[in-house]
Structure 1
């Protein structure tokens, strides 16, 4: 549905070239939710603006539904953009227009008939849960309600793709949760493909099928949400994960606990998540295990469990136990081993 091939965007600042996006490659499948995560200044907003050519790439291709939109004429590009809706962090609502008019006016500008404008405006306000707010003004709404108006406005043009530019970063956690639930509903009920950018890993955790990690304009890691949450490779990905889950114990803490023997992180996914694998190896081998940290994360497409465990016993028995865990689908990573 969305394909980026070696997309770059270079800005000239004080006679210097700055690469905001550097050779980005993405493939967003129809009907899926893909997320781009990165810290401030990573190039996320520039990247997403390249998708609908609000920023024209300095190089590379942007393919939407089979068409390279970087080669289209102005009229053809205008038509192609009608397939793509976008919601912003700052809502971008008309302050002097009612909720109804904030949706109706863009439809009128797109040449939608008066009757159809009314039908769509009423329909999408109901979908986002604001059927009773037609005559309110933005100043009378909460942040979450303003974002719902912005989502209804984007949906009213009936796009095939929805871009989300940090749409939840200005909202409190409870409101963020409700907006993410709404985006999931839109994706599931209408089959709309969603590409979002965020600096919040819990947003990725909640709704994404696939994830791209951006740093200094480059995609440094990508994969399914399950893959990235279970076995992150790049240091940036690991930092994001550590912000939402205790996956590691610091070396200093391990030393303070005066632990001898291996400290292991065990990762459970799929069916093995509900199995008493640790109890089994304790019974099967002459070892003892002490759980130092634990958490369970619920993703859109599965559940992941993490345990940080200190094992004691003969090294050969510990090795057998770890091999048994690996053979039964448990991820095993040594955080420290001083045997």
Structure 2
């Protein structure tokens, strides 16, 4: 559905060249939700604007449904963009136009009949839960309602692809959750493929099938959401995960608890999350597991449990207990020797 091959974007500035995106490749399958996460300045916004060629790549190729957009003429590209909806952090609504007109005007500009415009506005305002706001102005709406209007506007051209540029970063947590629920609904009921960028790990957690971690213009790590939540390799990925669940002990905490011996993070996925494995460990081996931190993370396609434990006991018994946990599908990572 969306394929980027070795895409690079270079900007010229007074201080010289700025390589915002460096040799990025990705593949978003039809009907999936993929997320690109990174800190400010990582190149996320530039990358997503390369997908619909709002920013033309300096090199590399962009394919949508097998068609190479980077080879299109301006007229061909303009027509193709009607198949790619986009929502923004700042909503981009016309302040002096009603909700109805904010959705209707772009449709009229591409030649859609008045009757069809009316049908589409009504349909998509109903989908986003704002069927009673036709005559309201943006200044009368909350941030979440404004974003819903922006989503309805993007959907009104009936695209196969929806791009989301930090669409929830200006919203409070409760409103963010409602917008994410709406995006899931759009994906599941309308079959729209979604590519989003974000710096919020909870967005990735809730709706993404596949994740790309971006740093300094490059994709430094990628994989399914479950893979990245259970087996992160890069320090940037681990830092993001630490924002929703403490994954490491600080030196001060280690000192305060006077920990010695094996401190281990256990990762449970799928069936292993429902088994009383620590209870079995304490019964079968001469070790005492002391739970230091614990949490369960619900992803779109699975559940991940994390425990940080201090195993107290003879070294051979500790190793045997760890092997028992591995044999039952638990991931182990030594945190402190």
Same fold (TM over 0.5): yes
Q: Quick check: 1:312 aligned with 2:312?
A: yes
After TM superposition, list the pairs within 5 Å mapping 1:2-81 onto structure 2: 2-81=2-81
SS in 1 for 2:97: coil
Separation in 2 of the partners of 1:278 and 1:327? Answer: 13
Q: Deviations over 1:106-129 (max 9, x none)?
A: 000111111100000000000000
The whole-number CA distance in structure 1 between the counterparts of 2:191 and 2:281 is 44
Once residues 80 and 251 of structure 1 are traced to their aligned partners in structure 2, the CA distance between those partners, rounded to angstroms, is: 54
Helix, strand or coil at the partner of 2:120: helix
Return the offset for 1:140: 0.4
Give deviations 1:21-60, integer Å, cap 9, x for gaps.
0000100010000000000011110000000000000000
The 3-state SS of whatever aligns with 1:42 is: coil
Match of 2:219 in 1: 219
**In 1, Cα distance between equivalents of 2:53 and 2:32:** 21
* Residue 152 (structure 2) pairs with residue 145 (structure 1): no
Structure 2 CA distance, aligned partners of 1:279 and 1:3? 47
Shift of 1:238: 0.6
Cα distance, 1:251 vs structure 2: 2.6
**Aligned equivalents of 2:109, 2:274: Cα separation in 1:** 54
By how many angstroms is 1:15 displaced?
A: 4.8
SS of 2:232 mapped into structure 1: coil
Q: Aligned partners of 1:328 and 1:81: how far apart in 2?
A: 49
Find the aligned partners of 2:76 and 2:161 in 1 and give their Cα distance: 17
Return the alpha-carbon distance in structure 2 between the equivalents of residues 247 and 304 of structure 1: 13
| Cα distance in 2, alignment partners of residues 47 and 244 from structure 1 | 25
Whole-Å Cα distance in 1 between the matches of residues 217 and 320 of structure 2? 44
- Unaligned 5+ segments in structure 2 are none
Q: Give 1:82 deviation, angstroms.
A: 1.3
Aligned residues: 337
Q: 1:1-339 residue pairs with structure 2 within 5 A? A: 1-337=1-337
Distance 2:253 2:68 in 1: 53
Q: TM-score, normalised by structure 2?
A: 0.99
Find the residue that maps to 1:240 and give its secondary structure. Answer: helix
Paired with 1:260 and 1:64, the residues of 2 have a C-alpha distance of 55
Query: How far does residue 252 in structure 1 lie from its aligned partner after superposition?
Result: 2.7
Q: Deviations over 1:262-316 (max 9, x none)?
A: 0000000011111111111111111110000001111111111000000011111
Q: Which runs of 4+ in 1 moved over 2 A?
A: none
Q: CA RMSD in A?
A: 0.7
CA distance in 1, matches of 2:320, 2:121: 64
2:213 aligned counterpart, secondary structure: strand
What displacement does 1:327 show?
Answer: 1.1
Residue range with higher mean Cα deviation, 33-42 or 241-250: 241-250
1: CA distance between counterparts of 2:141 and 2:336? 52
User: CA offset at residue 163 of structure 1?
Assistant: 0.2
- Report deviation, 1:102: 0.4
Deviations 1:181-235 (A, max 9, x none): 0000000001100000001011100100000001010000000010111111111
